[in-house]
Amino acid sequence: MTADPVVSDLDPFSFASLGAPQDTDERIRESGEVIRLDKYDVWFTGRYELCEQIFRDYETFESSAGTGITNTKKTENWRKPSVILENDPPSHTKYRRIMTSILSQRVVRRLTDGFQAQADALVDSVIGKGDFDAAKELAEPYPLQVLPDAVGLQPDGRQHLLPYSNLNFQAMGPRNELYTAAAEAAEEAAAFVNWQMRREALAPGGLGHTIYGYVDEGEITEEDAGMLVRTFLSAGVDTTIFGIQFTIKALAENPQAWTALRADPSLARKAFEEGLRWNAPSPYIGRTTARETVLGGTRIGQGEKVIMALAAANRDPRHWERPDVYDLDRDPSGHLAFGTGIHGCVGQMMARMEATCLLSALARRVETIELVAEPEPFYSNWLRGFESLPVRVTAA
């Protein structure tokens, strides 16, 4: 049995909505199991169970028509589709297997000592200041250093990584002023990324060169390999930066959680996971119906966009107790910030390792941490984070 669709005039991409993200999430989630946004002619759901259902049913909810609000099979995107994120089985399976191997637990363990040393050095460089911007001086420079180094990117040109990635995420939403500004800021970035994707531009021994090894074995083409390298450049930095930001903010606002982490720095991984549940850096991800279906009692036709509101689902009171509270005693496993199923974030182990290194370094070296001013939000169609996160620390 199906119900009449719930139609909403909400615009989640307006500056008013972006400035009140939790209110926006609640409205999406509580207006109905599935709601239709008239302005964009798309469906949204913020219910945890439905989001998980969509992730698992990749045959009904396909990724190959784009993971934003635009159906990229009908409207050309600003870049070629990702062979990982915007692809479906059987084609997706080969590329997923390769990237899973490239970013295996063994590889992540091999990189951990070097990542930890760089985290320790960065934390040491800022704590002597007492007051500093945890967004720009801690959460941002660390992933921008360690991941490009591991991939084998050249030192020159890395200033283009964030503008390129920002355009990638802004383009997931509507072609509004945020997208226009991102496109203008990234005019030189696309050329840099196209150059950096090439085999000859990558340092020997890095993860990028490992990908090109699959070309030599005849499994993928040279173009395929470049597209896989591009995944690191377009989706592997911003979300980690913002996830670390939210976790630092939560720890600064919750002295009990900070005390627990100080007493046991091995809780750093859990602190990050709860930070991702508490505030998902990428609040939305889209799918397209490959056939007519019923979702949450609502009939949805073939070829329609369904957006999962992940940040809303991660605070769904039907699934989580006290969902608005950052709680280190909670088991945050099952949060949807990384997605799940065959399209779950392929780099999630790397992101976890980066965050664990940085947060544990902070816990070992800092006695107290507090916010000293209101954080300045970063406005994005498809990401959440901060332009600035002013903190004050005392060294341990």
Q: What pLDDT shows up at residue 3?
A: 77
- 36, 5 Cβ separation under 8 angstroms: yes
CA 251 to CA 159: how far, in whole Å? 29
Residue with token string 């951990």: 112
pLDDT of the chain along its 396 residues, tens only?
Answer: 677 889 999 999 999 999 999 999 999 999 999 999 999 999 999 999 999 999 999 999 999 999 999 999 888 887 888 888 899 999 999 999 999 999 999 999 999 999 999 999 999 999 999 999 999 999 999 999 999 999 999 899 999 999 999 999 999 999 999 999 999 999 999 889 889 999 999 999 999 999 999 999 999 999 999 999 998 877 779 999 999 999 999 999 999 999 999 999 999 999 999 999 999 999 999 999 999 999 999 999 999 999 999 999 999 999 999 999 999 999 999 999 999 999 998 899 999 999 999 999 999 999 999 999 999 999 999 999 999 999 999 999
In sequence order, the 6+-apart residues with CB closer than 8 A to the CB of 177 are: none
- 297, 3 Cβ separation under 8 angstroms: yes
Of 317, 15, 290, 48, the closest CA to residue 173 belongs to 15
| pLDDT per position as a tens digit, 39-67 | 999 999 999 999 999 999 999 999 999 99
| pLDDT per position as a tens digit, 258-301 | 999 999 999 999 999 999 999 999 999 999 999 999 999 999 99
Q: What are the DSSP calls for 71-135, one per residue?
A: -TTTS--SSPPPTTTT--TTHHHHHHHHHHHHT-HHHHHHHHHHHHHHHHHHHHHHHTTSEEEHI
Q: What pLDDT shows up at residue 4?
A: 85
Q: What pLDDT shows up at residue 141?
A: 96
Tell me the three state secondary structure of residue 378.
strand
Let me know if domain 6-395 sits in CATH 1.10.630.10. Answer: yes
Q: What pLDDT shows up at residue 75?
A: 86
The encoded tokens of residue 259 equal 């005390």
> How, if at all, do strands 131-133 and 390-395 pair?
antiparallel
CA 2 to CA 287: how far, in whole Å? 21
CA 171 to CA 79: how far, in whole Å? 10
Q: What pLDDT shows up at residue 335?
A: 98
The encoded tokens of residue 302 equal 């073939």
- Could you tell me how far CA 126 lies from the centroid of its own chain? 25
**∠332-334-335 over CA atoms, to 5°?**
70
- Could you tell me how far CA 219 lies from the centroid of its own chain? 28
Q: What pLDDT shows up at residue 1?
A: 66
* pTM summary value: 0.96
In sequence order, the 6+-apart residues with CB closer than 8 A to the CB of 222 are: 199, 212, 215
